[in-house]
Chain A
Amino acid sequence: MRHRFFRGFSSGVWLFTILLAWSAASAQDLKSFEKRITVKVLPNGLTLVICERHDAPVFSYATFVDAGDVNDPSGESGLAHMFEHLAFKGTTQIGTTDYAAEKVALQKVEDANDAYEAEYLKPVGRDEKKLAVLHQAFVDAQSAAEKYVVPNQFTQVAEANGAHGLNAETGLDDTQYFWSMPQNRLELWAWLESGRLADVVPREFYKERDVVMEERRMRVDSNPIGRLEEQFFATAYVAHNYGRSDIGWPSEVSQINATEAMAFHQKYYVGGNIVIAIVGDVDPATDLPMLEKYFSRVPAGPKPEDMTTVEPVQFAEKSVVIREQTQPIYLEGYHRPSYRDPDDAVYDAISDILSNGRVSRLYRSLVEEQQIAAEAVGESPIPGEKYPSLFMFGAIPLPGHTPAEMRDAIHKEIEKLKTADVTNAELQMYKTRTRAELLRSLNDNQGLATSLAEYQTRYGDWRELFQQLDQVDKVTKADIRRVANQVFVASNRTSAEIDTEPPAGPAKQDGGAQ
């Protein structure tokens, strides 16, 4: 939606540009990166990873908080994401005309919301008149608090100082904040970023909750793929939070309050749970003391306890069928272990051999030879990676073909993996391409910042970004066959599909619905 100078060019000419980079892999690269990377753990537990790249006077950063919607308490699905939106609303120092007075007003908003909700949620004997009065009081309290707000000042100051690609993402596993900036704004950035991590104010919370409800309508309710996905994961999991709507079930996300969001912040936004990576024209010798000063504001604290729910072993095959007017799609998933499993790279190898490009087995079989699908893939891990997740297959039928044909064709390919070894060429291709894709990804400051923060969080050491290639090299044909036989079994399967139904009743208008 942003209309900027470079948006006018219509061609995909440089699609590949972003991916362009290569190094001969391994030790030499690791060594060259070791020379350029500085890691500093602050007394509050927060980790800074700085990678120098002085090509241009810019830097990119990624703040990686090891908490996502999987950590939402029961009944509060969507909370981590709701908090992420709050983190753009400013602090006690930015976004307000008078924080002391605003704080009092915000407490009144909470009180009014509590009173309204208590009446609204009464199982019996709700007094509609009283409810209307309480609702008006809630609305009035919000208006009173808004008088102190300088709306969107936090993001405005960032943008006016050249913030580029400013955004955030909440996943099930984690929450990430990121942008790029001219190098001479590093201290300003540190002030802004440390402020919102340490000192966020639940400003305009209830309006923002409405905004998030609109986001849910866009991504899930009004989108066939969104609806299918939500039902698919909800069916595949019976106990673990990976089965829960990540943006939140409507009745839950619409009831989250600011007090709950701030409690989430207090628990998870502590030093030990945050890694920040900066890549670009930064000099650790001079900049680190400054960064340390700002980021020491983040409250100290160890990593919060991990969630302990373990998805029980699936023993019954499950399926979801959505019958509606949209075109057919087929998905199926099999439970697999988390990223820490020794076979993690084996799953990647299977995914690569099945679905990477026009040489992949699913493409050659379903798209080229049988000509029944427009697209077919096998991907993992999904929907997260921190906890045991799924290996998911999916296919889009060509016109006239059905989900059942997709399922049968996918099962044939799975059977081949179980009964015959992959070829030497396939295995070697996986290894070559993985190395290439990793190294290509290092060229982009923002992408590298995200990877460094992620690996530092997940493995406690960014070097694993390179060292993971050792595991890739060790994958054997026997590993692939073993894992396929172990995981791709009917009792471990959940499928989901859209079966196309003709419109019900007579056409509503000229031409009717399609």
Chain B
Amino acid sequence: MKNHKLRSNFRFLLAGAILCALALPPSSIAQQSKPWEQIPIPALHAFHPQQPKRIVLKNGIIVFLQEDHELPFIYGSVLIHGGSRDEDPAKAGLVGLYGQAWRTSGTAAMDGDAMDDLLESKAAHIETAGDDDSTELSWDSLKGDSDQVFSLAIDLLFHPKFNAEKLQLAQQQEATEIVRRNDDEDGIAGRESAKLVYGVNSPYTRQPEFSTIGAVTLADLQDWHDRTLKGKLIVGIYGDFDPVAMEAKVRAAFDNLPPGTPEPARHDQFTDPKPGVYFIDKEDVNQSNVQIVALGVDRHDPDVPTLDVMNEILGGGFGSRLFQKVRTQLGLAYAVGGGFSFPYDHPGSFRVEVLTKSVSTVDATKAAEAEIAGLNTKPFTAEELQRAKDDIVNSFLFDYDTKDKILDESERLEFYGYPADYLETYHAALGKVTLADLTAAAKKYIHPEKLAVLVVGNGPEIKPGLDALDMGAPQPVDITIPQPHGPSPTGAEN
């Protein structure tokens, strides 16, 4: 079952495929011959990626139409500003519940269960989902069913009828997630290290609790819906359609809406994590999950192309310093890597992770820290720079090799207000990164003394102990799950 079988989708059992990935800066060892360099690399076949047609409605709604006639199939989506970072902290989890209950509730004309029956009989889909900065409604169907599915989707977009039973169902699902969130070591490490970076009560890390999901009402869902639907919607249609007819159809659905009001700008404060080593004891593991984190940068930052190249050198896969050292040379980890992330409208994180057996926790952590510090002390080589650029530049093609990926990118840039030629500009900037740029960026962004280290692992097995990291006494992190007060908010308990 490690094979990805077409027919197997037992979600919680997918331990994942056995992956093999690896790499290191080829030192300047002389190699007698490099036969692969004798293999000709002809010019790439000409390629003219097809951009979607962009239409601006008079109310500000943006529509993208991307034709693809290879298969008789049409899909669409509406992207809506506003997500979990914008929800009331006392109702954390609201957007997640909304994303489920919107679709499962259905409309006045057709409830969610009836919609399931109809759509599944046609192998079609309409789905809704919530994310940290957006919510979304999407649909897909055979061309022949697309008029009906489009109408249903639009009805769900504008006239949902939120249903108490479906909200309760969503609350039960969320309660299950809460009660299980400390079972999985990897989940704990990801969640708690993000809290170190952004803060416990940050809009980007606060987590749903029994009390906050229990506080969400049907009226909250309706209010959220009414408010966000007034925003600047982005509509994308992809597939086998006639563009004139499709434009008319989309206009008929969206043209008469009042002008969209932009989602209010956020004014979040971001501060560096408090340096030190943090520890979460988990008795049923024999491997430590180590996260080394700091606050990172926003994608608007002009240093992002340089940092992207630095990511590739530090922890971006087979050729990276971390992979070469910690995995290949030391054999201390299967999973090791990391770097900066570049969110489109807020600072990301710097994160390096290494998973290693309990007894080598300190050794592996020190080895990873040494590679991070080495960005400032171990000069970048021309060879490393070239390889990192080749890695990135030669696989650019896979950012836009299908028409749906191009549509995806167009919508993303529209959503975050980036120029339409951002990708080209970015690609060009990457190509110009120099060794001096890397050295300057490392100096500016890599501060080993500011790092926070989180270890999730089996305390008694970790020898030497985390004191040996010389980062002060390990600070325990309490991950106790607050229990619901009084009767369960979900009604799930007997």
A212 within 8 A of B: yes
Chain A, interface SS category: mixed
Contact A1 B337 (CB under 8 A): yes
Q: Which residue of chain B is the closest to A397 with respect to CB atoms?
A: B176
Taken together as a complex, chains A and B put the C-alpha atoms of A385 and B1 apart, in Å, by 9
Q: Which single member of A327, A428, A512 contacts B179 (CB below 8 Å)?
A: A327
B24 within 8 A of A: yes
B142 to chain A, nearest CB (A): 6
Interface code A10-42, partner B: CB below 8 Å = 1, 0 otherwise? Answer: 111111110111111000000000000000000
Contact A150 B31 (CB under 8 A): yes
Contact A214 B334 (CB under 8 A): yes
Taken together as a complex, chains A and B put the C-alpha atoms of A326 and B33 apart, in Å, by 55
A514 within 8 A of B: yes
Q: Which residue of chain A is the closest to B356 with respect to CB atoms?
A: A214
A84 within 8 A of B: yes
Q: Which single member of A17, A229, A325, A435 contacts B123 (CB below 8 Å)?
A: A435
A499 within 8 A of B: no
* B-contacting 9-mer, from A113-121, A152-160, A264-272, A310-318: A152-160
Contact B323 A171 (CB under 8 A): no
Contact A81 B1 (CB under 8 A): no
Residues 150 to 206 of chain A near chain B (Cβ within 8 Å): 150-153, 155-174, 176, 180, 182-185, 187-188, 191-192, 204, 206
Taken together as a complex, chains A and B put the C-alpha atoms of A371 and B121 apart, in Å, by 25
Residues 410 to 464 of chain B near chain A (Cβ within 8 Å): 411-412, 423, 426, 459
With A55-B402, A191-B36, A432-B123 in contact, is A210–B70 under 8 Å at CB?
no
Taken together as a complex, chains A and B put the C-alpha atoms of A398 and B492 apart, in Å, by 7
Contact A88 B22 (CB under 8 A): yes
A233 to chain B, nearest CB (A): 9
Contact A161 B390 (CB under 8 A): yes
A298 within 8 A of B: no
Interface code B211-236, partner A: CB below 8 Å = 1, 0 otherwise? Answer: 00000000000000000000000000
Contact B398 A180 (CB under 8 A): yes
Contact A214 B138 (CB under 8 A): no
Contact B2 A170 (CB under 8 A): yes
Taken together as a complex, chains A and B put the C-alpha atoms of A281 and B397 apart, in Å, by 13
Residues of chain B lying within 8 A (CB to CB) of residue A403: none
Taken together as a complex, chains A and B put the C-alpha atoms of A20 and B77 apart, in Å, by 13
A366 to chain B, nearest CB (A): 12
Residues of chain B lying within 8 A (CB to CB) of residue A22: 71-73, 142-143
* A-contacting 9-mer, from B37-45, B152-160, B370-378: B37-45
* A-contacting 9-mer, from B52-60, B254-262, B266-274, B325-333: B325-333
Residues 228 to 246 of chain B near chain A (Cβ within 8 Å): 238-239
Q: Which residue of chain A is the closest to B5 with respect to CB atoms?
A: A385
Residues of chain A lying within 8 A (CB to CB) of residue B423: 5
Contact B71 A21 (CB under 8 A): yes
With A3-B341, A171-B1 in contact, is A511–B478 under 8 Å at CB?
yes
Taken together as a complex, chains A and B put the C-alpha atoms of A87 and B342 apart, in Å, by 33
Taken together as a complex, chains A and B put the C-alpha atoms of A513 and B239 apart, in Å, by 52
Contact B172 A398 (CB under 8 A): yes
Taken together as a complex, chains A and B put the C-alpha atoms of A513 and B243 apart, in Å, by 59
B17 within 8 A of A: yes
Q: Which residue of chain B is the closest to A14 with respect to CB atoms?
A: B408
Contact A432 B132 (CB under 8 A): no
Residues 114 to 146 of chain B near chain A (Cβ within 8 Å): 116-117, 120-123, 125, 127, 129, 131-134, 136, 138, 140, 142-143
Q: B18, B116, B317, B408: which has the most chain A beta carbons within 10 Å?
A: B18
Q: Which single member of A8, A84, A368, A441 contacts B343 (CB below 8 Å)?
A: A8
A115 to chain B, nearest CB (A): 21
Q: Which residue of chain B is the closest to A398 with respect to CB atoms?
A: B492
Contact A396 B328 (CB under 8 A): no
Contact B2 A396 (CB under 8 A): no
Interface code B14-48, partner A: CB below 8 Å = 1, 0 otherwise? Answer: 01111111111011011111111001111111110
Q: Which residue of chain B is the closest to A450 with respect to CB atoms?
A: B4
B299 within 8 A of A: yes
Interface code A414-427, partner B: CB below 8 Å = 1, 0 otherwise? Answer: 00000000000100
Q: Which residue of chain B is the closest to A280 with respect to CB atoms?
A: B401
* B-contacting 9-mer, from A43-51, A372-380, A474-482, A485-493: A372-380
Contact B140 A16 (CB under 8 A): yes
Residues of chain A lying within 8 A (CB to CB) of residue B12: 225, 329, 375, 394, 396
Residues of chain B lying within 8 A (CB to CB) of residue A377: 10
Taken together as a complex, chains A and B put the C-alpha atoms of A370 and B285 apart, in Å, by 34
Residues of chain B lying within 8 A (CB to CB) of residue A169: 2-4, 17-19
With A81-B18, A451-B6 in contact, is A2–B121 under 8 Å at CB?
no
Q: Which single member of B39, B140, B323 contacts A188 (CB below 8 Å)?
A: B39
Contact B355 A8 (CB under 8 A): no
Contact A379 B169 (CB under 8 A): no
Contact B411 A359 (CB under 8 A): no
Residues of chain B lying within 8 A (CB to CB) of residue A155: 21-23, 317-319
Q: Which residue of chain B is the closest to A5 with respect to CB atoms?
A: B399
Contact A20 B404 (CB under 8 A): yes
Contact A392 B10 (CB under 8 A): yes
Q: Which residue of chain B is the closest to A180 with respect to CB atoms?
A: B398
Q: Which residue of chain A is the closest to B316 with respect to CB atoms?
A: A2
Contact B127 A16 (CB under 8 A): yes
* B-contacting 9-mer, from A103-111, A127-135, A216-224: A216-224
Taken together as a complex, chains A and B put the C-alpha atoms of A57 and B131 apart, in Å, by 34
Contact A1 B73 (CB under 8 A): no
Taken together as a complex, chains A and B put the C-alpha atoms of A163 and B117 apart, in Å, by 42
Taken together as a complex, chains A and B put the C-alpha atoms of A97 and B30 apart, in Å, by 7
Taken together as a complex, chains A and B put the C-alpha atoms of A7 and B44 apart, in Å, by 26
Q: Which residue of chain A is the closest to B169 with respect to CB atoms?
A: A368
Residues 68 to 120 of chain A near chain B (Cβ within 8 Å): 81, 84-85, 87-88, 93-94, 96-98
Contact B36 A157 (CB under 8 A): yes
B201 within 8 A of A: no
Q: Which single member of A12, A226, A450 contacts B15 (CB below 8 Å)?
A: A226
Taken together as a complex, chains A and B put the C-alpha atoms of A35 and B398 apart, in Å, by 26
Q: Which single member of B47, B71, B355 contacts A443 (CB below 8 Å)?
A: B71
Contact B136 A184 (CB under 8 A): no
A52 within 8 A of B: no
B303 to chain A, nearest CB (A): 14
Taken together as a complex, chains A and B put the C-alpha atoms of A180 and B204 apart, in Å, by 34
A509 within 8 A of B: yes
B371 to chain A, nearest CB (A): 14
Residues of chain B lying within 8 A (CB to CB) of residue A219: 15-16, 18
Residues of chain B lying within 8 A (CB to CB) of residue A210: 331-332
With A152-B328, A170-B2 in contact, is A93–B480 under 8 Å at CB?
no
Contact B8 A382 (CB under 8 A): yes
Taken together as a complex, chains A and B put the C-alpha atoms of A191 and B34 apart, in Å, by 12
Q: Which residue of chain A is the closest to B34 with respect to CB atoms?
A: A94
Q: Which residue of chain B is the closest to A68 with respect to CB atoms?
A: B3
Residues of chain A lying within 8 A (CB to CB) of residue B6: 437-438, 441, 451
Contact B286 A11 (CB under 8 A): no
A341 within 8 A of B: no
Residues of chain B lying within 8 A (CB to CB) of residue A351: 7
Contact B239 A20 (CB under 8 A): yes
A246 within 8 A of B: yes
A209 to chain B, nearest CB (A): 8
A99 to chain B, nearest CB (A): 9
Contact B120 A156 (CB under 8 A): no
B79 within 8 A of A: yes
By Cβ-Cβ distance, the 8 closest A-B pairs, closest first, are A162-B394, A210-B331, A436-B123, A1-B337, A400-B493, A171-B3, A222-B285, A155-B318
Task: Given contacts A1-B317, A514-B182, list 13 more A-B pairs with CB under 8 A.
Answer: A12-B131, A22-B72, A56-B397, A156-B23, A160-B391, A182-B44, A218-B334, A325-B284, A375-B12, A398-B172, A398-B175, A400-B494, A451-B6
24 contacts between A and B (CB under 8 A): A1-B337, A13-B134, A14-B408, A16-B138, A20-B239, A21-B71, A57-B46, A151-B328, A152-B23, A158-B318, A161-B390, A168-B20, A207-B329, A214-B334, A214-B356, A218-B335, A327-B180, A356-B120, A359-B117, A380-B7, A382-B10, A438-B6, A443-B70, A510-B478
